Structures are given as structure tokens and as C-alpha cells.
Amino acid sequence: MSSFSPAQSRDIKHQMHPYTNDVAHKTIGPRIIERGEGIYVYDDQGNKFLEAMAGLWSVAVGFGEPRLVEAATRQLQKLPYYHTFTHKSHSPSIELAEKLVDYTQGRMSRVFFTNSGSEANDTVVKMVWYYNNALGRTQKKKIISRKRGYHGVTVASASMTGLVGNHRDFDLPLPQMKHTSCPHFYREGQPGESEVDFASRMEAELEAMIIQEGPETVAAFIGEPVMGAGGVIVPPDTYWGKIQAVCRKYDLLIIADEVITGFGRLGKRFGSDVYGIEPDIMVLSKQITSSYQPLAAVMLNDDVASVISEHSGRLGSFGHGYTASGHPVATAVAIENLNIIQERKLVENAATTGAIMQAALRELAGHPLVGEVRGLGLIAAVELVADKESRRPFDPLGKAGAAVYGRAHENGLIVRAIQDTIAFCPPLIITPEQVSDMVARFAKTLDEVQKSLQV
């Protein structure tokens, strides 16, 4: 974009964007998205794009769903805002909390609402510390996450995030947050090592870390069932069972970050259902409202909730919350969104159409640029390499990913480049025909980028 429209110029002058090189932004300028319909969005120049990332992993029911607009409008007319502090409540937050507990089939018993996944994970950190203080375990405060894991961007949640870009020059991570290895078999597996052996090595590494830190100081382990923003990392066979066994052995709370994987993304209601995870705490956001409204939820099992509840009685209050915790419009939209997911069998669609998407992307495995294709349900990634046999990455890292990301736009496709990994996470409403179209556009993009890179 060499010359800017008035809207672009105003954006450059006044708005600072997240996850953006602000110096480059002043040269490149923004692409302004004006409207959305189904799995497509349109920019202010009339260009149509197949949104293969559902916005930010989040628009389950697609763009422009009238039922969500109507749900928000009804609630705005009735009660546009009220808080949930100091014994106040309202019908939408009550109904959604009940619905979410039912959705977990009773494994979770209480819900605390926030406005984003970052806020939710920040809240989780405070709850874990509060919980252990309530039990008199004042040293049991460290939380272990994983390299390349993503848990948000507040001071506490960014510290759990295992991505260097979220730490660099922010003076993070906090010292209570530790990071064990990323369970990416393609990159981290050793020659001759099976997936099961690799999972055992990850298990042993976690146990060694806990012992080195001192089990009396380690409070919890947090992980995404399938890692999202770190590159769509699918855990190796037996991994989660082994990780859970270590956590139970040393009395660590298990926190399932289901911000991306919740509400059907992997073909079941939760990623925890796919991998047999029995979390003490579950974190939900994104698809909870299809991101039509900001909302997240921290869900607690009865054991954790009871300890926190009783301690609030001793102290006189649980001194934490947000102005918009359980916002009536956001929770009303979430209720209708979950109704749509259920009525339209979108969880089932993620399983069946997701299998079609996985198979179609794997047909590209022989492409000269493709090192690995991975994913489950309606989330996938294609990792690009400079050399297939040695798995040698591009130098500089991210060179090919940026080229694919930019060229895909020219082919009417929005994907996400995570360095040289291209991520896919389309709305749950996508059809097999639309999957074919999406993969065809991506294949065309790969061919064009290959020629430009002379690989």
C-alpha cells in the first residue's frame, strides 16, 4: 500500500496496534476490514477474503450472525450494563454460569467471568496463590507452563506464555513462572525416538524440574490441550496422561487453557475431552461468544472453589474482579452463541469437516516448501522449511511465512504466519466445499511463493 486512503492515514496517525511493528505500520498501512458474512470478510476496497483464522481463532458461528446481534440488542434494551460485585447479579450471567457448568458435565462447579483470556489467566494466577495461602502453603506459588505456550499478555499471563516476543524488554517473565519443553515431536524429537518415548522424556523433564524447584514451592501446571499461537502443536501420543500423573504425584493443580480449543474446535466440546485431561481449573474465551462480545470464564472444580470460597469468608471478601465481570450483554450473547453451536451441530461439524480439512492439507505434504502438516479438528498448521530432508528452517526465520501471509491476501485468503508456520482455524460453520476452496487458494499461494523464493 504505497498511497493511503483518509481512513488509513487517520489510523496511522492515531491508533497503536497490538502485535504490530509500529514503524513498519507507518509504511505498510492497515488493511481496513469493513464487514463480514459467514466465513468471509470484506475490506473497504470491496475485496473479499476467506477468513481461514476465524478472526483470532474465535468466530465459531461465522460473521454477521443475526441471532447474536438480536441477543445483544434485546439485552441492551433491557439492562445494558450492571456489575456483579458485592452480592449483585443479573439473569444472563446466572444462566450462562449454569450452562457452562452443565457443558462440562459437572466436572467444574463454579464460574468467574472476565473480559479476555489474558485477564482470565491473570485471575487464575491470583486464584492459585490465594488457594495455597488459604491452605497454609505459603511457599507453593510457582507455576509451570511450556515453551511456545500462549496464555495471554498481562504481566502474570505473559509470564506464563512461553514466547520470547512476549517477554523481551517487558522485564518478563516473573520469577514464579517456569517453562518446560514444548512437546513438538517434529522439532524436539530425537533420532530413533518414538512419540511415546518422546512423551516419556517430556514427563521426566517435568518431574525433574519440579524436584529441582522443590515440590513444596510448585503450585500448578498450565497447558493448552493443543498449543495454538505457538504454532498449533498437537501433543504426542500418551503425553497428557503422563503429564497429569506427574502433577498428581506432586500435588500440582492442573489448569487447562481452553481459550482456543473450547466449544468444539477439536471435534469435541473441549480439548480436555479429547485428551482425557481432568483439570482443576479450566479457562474459556474466544468461541464463548464467537468474539461478538469480550468475555472469558475461569471455571473451578468443587475442591478448588470450596477452598477459595471459605477463605473469602475468613478475609471478608474475595478482593478481585473487573467492572465488566459477567457483563449482561456479553453473557446474553454467549448464551445464544452456545445455543447456535448446539442446534447447528457445529461441534460435530468440526469433527467431520475438520477431518476433510486435515486430509486436504496433508495432500500438500509433498510440496517443496512443506516440512510438516499437523492439526486436529478445525485447527491446523503447515510448517515451511528451506530443506525437507534435513528440516532446515529458513534464514532468517519467518521469511517464508511472511511471504505466504502476504501472497495469500492477493489470493483472497487470510491465514496467520507464526514465524514460518502457517495456521488455519476457520469458523466452525465451514463446509467441505469451502474447505476445498480454502486449500486450493493456499496451494496456489505456496506455488507462487516457491517461485519467488527460488526454492
Query: Residue holding cell 506427574?
Result: 246
Q: What is the pLDDT of residue 106?
A: 87
- Cα angle 370-375-381, degrees, rounded to a multiple of 5: 40
**CA distances to 195, 370, 372, 414 from 421, in Å:** 21, 10, 9, 14
Q: What is the pLDDT of residue 454?
A: 73
DSSP H or E segment with residue 101: helix 91-103
Domain stop point among 322, 343, 364: 343
What's the CA gap between 56 and 77, in Å, rounded? 29
Q: Which residues constitute the domain of residue 326?
A: 68-343
Is residue 25 domain-resident? no
CA 161 to chain CA centroid, Å, is 11
Domain co-membership, 254 together with 355: no
The residue among 69, 334, 59, 379 whose CA lies nearest residue 51 is: 59
Provide the residue-wise pLDDT of the chain in tens; the chain has 455 residues.
Answer: 458 999 999 999 999 999 999 999 999 999 999 999 999 999 999 999 999 999 999 999 999 999 999 999 999 999 999 999 999 999 999 999 999 999 999 899 999 999 999 999 999 999 999 999 999 999 999 999 999 999 999 999 999 999 999 999 999 999 999 999 999 999 999 999 999 999 999 999 999 999 999 999 999 999 999 999 999 999 999 999 999 999 999 999 999 999 999 999 999 999 999 999 999 999 999 999 999 999 999 999 999 999 999 999 999 999 999 999 999 999 999 999 999 999 999 999 999 999 999 999 999 999 999 999 999 999 999 999 999 999 999 999 999 999 999 999 999 999 999 999 999 999 999 999 999 999 999 999 999 999 998 75
What's the CA gap between 360 and 364, in Å, rounded? 7
DSSP 236: P
The residue among 151, 118, 101 whose CA lies nearest residue 299 is: 101
Q: What is the pLDDT of residue 455?
A: 54
Domain co-membership, 224 together with 337: yes
Domain co-membership, 282 together with 408: no
**Pair 223, 257: CB distance under 8 Å:** yes
SS3 46: coil
Looking at residue 396, which CATH number applies to its domain?
3.90.1150.10
Domain co-membership, 154 together with 268: yes
SS3 38: strand
Is residue 19 domain-resident? no
Q: Do the bridges between strand 370-376 and strand 416-418 make them parallel or antiparallel, or are there none, so unpaired? A: unpaired
Is residue 1 domain-resident? no
DSSP string, 66-95: HHHHHHHHHHHHH-S-----TT---HHHHH
SS3 34: strand
Is residue 9 domain-resident? no
Domain co-membership, 52 together with 73: no
Domain co-membership, 170 together with 181: yes
Predicted TM-score (pTM) of this structure: 0.97
Instruction: Take residue 377 and report the three cell numbers written for it.
Output: 479438528
**CA distances to 16, 362, 382, 425, 437 from 369, in Å:** 34, 13, 9, 21, 20
Burial tier of 28 (Cβ tally within 10 Å: 0-12, 13-18, 19+): middle
What's the CA gap between 256 and 234, in Å, rounded? 15
Is residue 162 domain-resident? yes
Looking at residue 191, which CATH number applies to its domain?
3.40.640.10
Domain co-membership, 288 together with 398: no
Domain stop point among 277, 308, 343: 343
Residue 289 backbone phi and psi in degrees, to 5: -125, 10
Tally the C-alpha atoms within 13 A of residue 19's C-alpha that lie toward its C-beta.
11
Instruction: Take residue 396 and report the three cell numbers written for it.
Output: 532468517
What's the CA gap between 244 and 425, in Å, rounded? 27
Domain co-membership, 329 together with 357: no
Domain co-membership, 214 together with 239: yes
Domain co-membership, 211 together with 117: yes
Is residue 47 domain-resident? yes
Q: Do the bridges between strand 253-257 and strand 40-43 make them parallel or antiparallel, or are there none, so unpaired? A: unpaired
Domain co-membership, 247 together with 377: no
**Pair 224, 271: CB distance under 8 Å:** yes
Domain stop point among 323, 343, 363: 343
SS (H, E, C) 334-353: HHHHHHHHHHCCHHHHHHHH
Domain co-membership, 188 together with 40: no
Is residue 4 domain-resident? no
Is residue 3 domain-resident? no
Count of structural domains, the chain: 2
